[in-house]
Amino acid sequence: MDFRDYADETELFLAAVEANNTHGLRYSTYDRRGILVEAEKRGISRDVISSALKMPVEKADKKIADGSAFVKTPAGERERVPLRTGMKKLAGRDLSKKQEEANKKTGMKAEYHCEALIALLRAGLLTWGSKNAVAMCGSLHRELDKRLERLAS
């Protein structure tokens, strides 16, 4: 066993980022965005966290600029959050509560989800799917009707 002492949580965070970056599964783009956002919250310089991630500083700067948005904290302050791929078009903006919740639940781009759902529907989802899946398809239908109607007018 290898026991180590760290001066504080920030030093431990940096050691964990660096150690996990060098073995096993690679960090996803979202993981990297999250690490960069967390490092910023902890006051870790972009140079230091970029080194731990083995990433050029310019690339880290771009990941933050193009892959994060802001939410309001309970104290009313503005806090940076990493964006999932499907939400990336909202980079740099303040997220509404609904957008914040969607960012927690969605990963892929909307096109991926639409394609997957179309494939399931064509494969007979409404006849062999669960009652809950059928009900959710009904909810989706109503939501799409409302929004597509607005776009048409």
Helix, strand counts (H, E) of the chain = 8, 2
d(CA 152, CA 34): 38
Find out whether 3 and 15 touch, Cβ atoms under 8 Å.
no
Q: Which residue has the higher pLDDT, 1 or 69?
A: 69
Q: What is the pLDDT of residues 84-105, one digit of tens each?
A: 999 999 999 999 999 999 999 8
Structure tokens at 128: 């062999």
pLDDT in tens, 13-56: 999 999 898 877 789 999 999 999 999 999 999 999 999 999 99
Residue 28 is classified by DSSP as: P
Domain range annotation of the chain: 9-107, 111-152
pLDDT of residue 31: 95
pTM of the model: 0.79
Burial of 151 (0-12, 13-18, 19+ CB in 10 A): exposed
